[in-house]
Amino acid sequence: MCFHWNKCPFSCTHYYQMKKLTSENLLLIYIILLPLLDSLSFISREFLNFAISPTLIIRPLIPITVATIIFVKNNIKLKMLIVGTIYLAYAFIHLYFFQQLRTELSFGSLFHETQYITNYMFLILNLFIFLFIFYKADKQTTEKLKKYTLIAIIIYISSIYISIITQTYTTTYVEGMGIKGWFESGNSISAILLLGTFILTTMIKQKPINKIAIPTILFIGFYLLRLIGTRAGMFGFIFIVRNICTI
């Protein structure tokens, strides 16, 4: 992947730039870790029978660290506290009514509902820190963000094909249709690959990185169209190709 040594994410120059663990660099590292943490979480439960996935502890560390840095170094403490308080209030009210109105036909337990609420809060936190750090980023930082996204997407799609080759994949649906690799949800991995592909399409005219981006898009396309079995993946990729053709 090293086309220009001084620009490659694995070059010595880049290494020295990354030695300073800024919020930006932490989030770039986090992007690459995400596919590894996602697959580790599923493997630990599905194949190793862990009651609690180790990623439950590992995954929030970087976002919480970055959020803490933002809280300490910026004059938005009151706003962050107000938003956090509102969400916590909503969470308690939601869980209270869930417990009061739950019947024998209700899906899930109070514990599962708490997990959903926590996951939503985590997603909101991720959205906030990425917007705060990268929203007004310069061109160089934006290009760096795109390259790290490319690496993460390559890890996602490579792990899926490895699971197919090793016959260790899991199916998208309980009926046995579709392939979702070592990931929890077929719809989730569809969304991740589609959003990643949107970013990759901005690289198809950038030489020489397009030599990696274009084959990655093709591998993703074959997977979404033929293997995953979700309508979101299939129609989403067709929509992307249609937009590429109009460029």
Convert the pLDDT of each residue in 91-105 to its tens digit.
Answer: 999 999 988 888 777
Residue 70, pLDDT score? 93
Residue 16 has pLDDT above 80, yes or no: no
DSSP designation for 225: I
- The residue among 99, 142, 95 whose CA lies nearest residue 121 is 95
From CA 95, how far away is CA 129, in angstroms rounded?
26
Give residue 20's pLDDT band: very low, low, confident or very high (50, 70, 90): low
Q: What is the mean pLDDT of residues 150-169?
A: 96
The tokens describing 232, both together, are: 């979101």
pTM: 0.83
> Going by C-beta distance under 8 Å and a sequence separation of 6 or more, which residues neighbour residue 108?
116
Mean pLDDT of the chain: 87
Give residue 28's pLDDT band: very low, low, confident or very high (50, 70, 90): very high
Q: What is the mean pLDDT of residues 33-61?
A: 86
Residue 207 near residue 213, CB atoms below 8 Å: no
The predicted-structure confidence for 67-100, as pLDDT tens digits, reads as follows 999 999 999 999 999 999 999 999 999 999 988 8
From CA 129, how far away is CA 83, in angstroms rounded?
14
Residue 8, pLDDT score? 53
Q: In Å, what is the CA distance from 148 to each residue of 36, 48, 188?
A: 14, 30, 20
